[in-house]
Amino acid sequence: MLQIHQNVSLKNFNTFGIDASARYFVEIAHEDELTELFLDPQWKTTERLVLGGGSNLLLTQDFDGLVIRMNIRSIEHRINHNEVFVEAGAGEVWNDFVNYCVGWQFAGVENMSLIPGSVGASPIQNIGAYGVELKDVFDTCRAFEIATGEFKTFTKADCRFGYRESVFKQKKGEYIIVSVKFTLSLTPNINTRYGAIEQELANRGISNPTIKDISQVVSHIRVSKLPDPSTIGNAGSFFKNPVITADAFNPIQNKYPDIVNFPGGDGLVKLAAGWMIEQCGWKGKVVGHTGTWKNQALVLVNHGGATGQEVYALSSQIIDSVYSKFGVMLEREVNIL
């Protein structure tokens, strides 16, 4: 029998450590519990929030509805010649899943080591890092459709992946992901082109890296740049890296020749939001109980006791200053409640 709890603090269920509460709270450990939950028509009409690791969320107020925490845990794999199909439950910690794959020498997710969050949230955001996105290794996912009470399988085409985008964002609240299947490989396609991977490999004297080397190097780089949520509240990168046209980029580059940029595909240019924020003087700045991280301006932090409104207000100030200096509008990557 499912236990529906009332007036539950969400402080330990969001990595920002914001002390907000949920009117109702339920934890799902098996997919059939979703069927049981929504047999009660009350929960179809009540406002809902689905939580995984709570790592991409800013709570700006109490939630007067039902919080559904997905805690379905399982990882299974099947090898077919050179391909490996790995299926993981939505409640698995993303980095535990990556470590499982690296441990078995299944290649494809090593560049996404140490991304915070859960497996179930990964397709929603189309998470990515260091030249690899979830869509590159995605096979299918299984999701519960709330309106019908049925389970549906989504293919890569169904998911309509974009940069930190998916159909699950566009149809917010209609589906709850219960598991994700990935297509990985026994033959690594080592990708060292992004960030400081090549430099760190050189520092370690590694010329022919394995996927384990890549995972360890990426983890080292992330730890050196990003704060540990167990030590200081944060949600990782707070803003998306903006993608603009070459025509819009040229005058900005003429004015700021050092601006960090990457090819965005289809004639577009991706800008480094962290660099622009730093140029506006925000890196390491403390504002009340919040601020930006000392090693990465893209990360907003809770120094202790910050409210969600404080963090949101700081993000608005940053957006305004970057637009004023560069004429580029930053977009929040973190989901705002």
* 237-249 residue pLDDT tens: 899 999 999 999 9
Report CA 277 to chain centroid distance, whole Å: 20
| Element holding 183 (H helix, E strand) | strand 175-185
Average the pLDDT over 2-12 and give the result: 95
Enumerate residues 6+ apart whose C-beta is below 8 A from 301: 227, 232, 233, 234, 290, 291, 292, 293
Contact 118, 89 (CB under 8 A): no
The CA distance from 204 to 112, in Å, is 20
- Tell me the two tokens of residue 315: 């993000």
Residue spans of the domains in the chain: they are: 5-70, 75-185, 233-336
The CA distance from 196 to 213, in Å, is 13
pLDDT digits (tens, 9 = 90+) for 126-135: 999 998 999 9
The CA distance from 261 to 278, in Å, is 14
Q: How confident is the model at residue 52 (pLDDT cuts 50, 70, 90)?
A: confident
- How does DSSP assign 129-158, residue by residue? ETTEEGGGTEEEEEEEETTTTEEEEEEHHH
- Angle CA(123)–CA(96)–CA(149) in degrees, nearest 5? 40
Stated pTM of the model? 0.86
Q: How confident is the model at residue 263 (pLDDT cuts 50, 70, 90)?
A: confident
- Angle CA(16)–CA(118)–CA(273) in degrees, nearest 5? 55
pLDDT digits (tens, 9 = 90+) for 187-239: 999 999 887 899 999 999 999 999 999 999 999 998 888 888 888 999 988 99
Q: How confident is the model at residue 25 (pLDDT cuts 50, 70, 90)?
A: very high
CATH of domain 75-185: 3.30.465.10
CATH class of 5-70: alpha beta
pLDDT at 1 over 80: no
Q: Which stretches of the chain are DSSP H helices?
A: 32-37, 42-45, 94-103, 122-125, 156-159, 167-170, 197-203, 211-225, 246-255, 273-279, 308-326
Which residues are identified as catalytic?
164, 237, 333
Per-residue pLDDT at 104: 97
Contact 310, 288 (CB under 8 A): yes
Contact 13, 69 (CB under 8 A): yes
| Element holding 232 (H helix, E strand) | none
Helix (H, G, I), strand (E, B) or coil at 322: helix
Instruction: Give the CA distances from residue 305 to residues 299, 308, 310, in Å, rounded to whole numbers and listed in that order.
Output: 17, 10, 10
Contact 16, 233 (CB under 8 A): yes
pLDDT at 44 over 90: no
Per-residue pLDDT at 134: 97
Spell 241-254 as b/e; 16+ CB within 10 A means b: bbbbeeeebeebee
Helix (H, G, I), strand (E, B) or coil at 327: coil
CATH 3.90.78.10 matches 233-336: yes
Report CA 218 to chain centroid distance, whole Å: 16
Question: Residue 292 pairs with which residues in a beta bridge?
Answer: 300
CB atoms within 10 A of CB 147: 9
pLDDT digits (tens, 9 = 90+) for 279-301: 999 999 999 999 999 999 999 99
The two most distant CA atoms of the chain are separated, in Å, by: 64
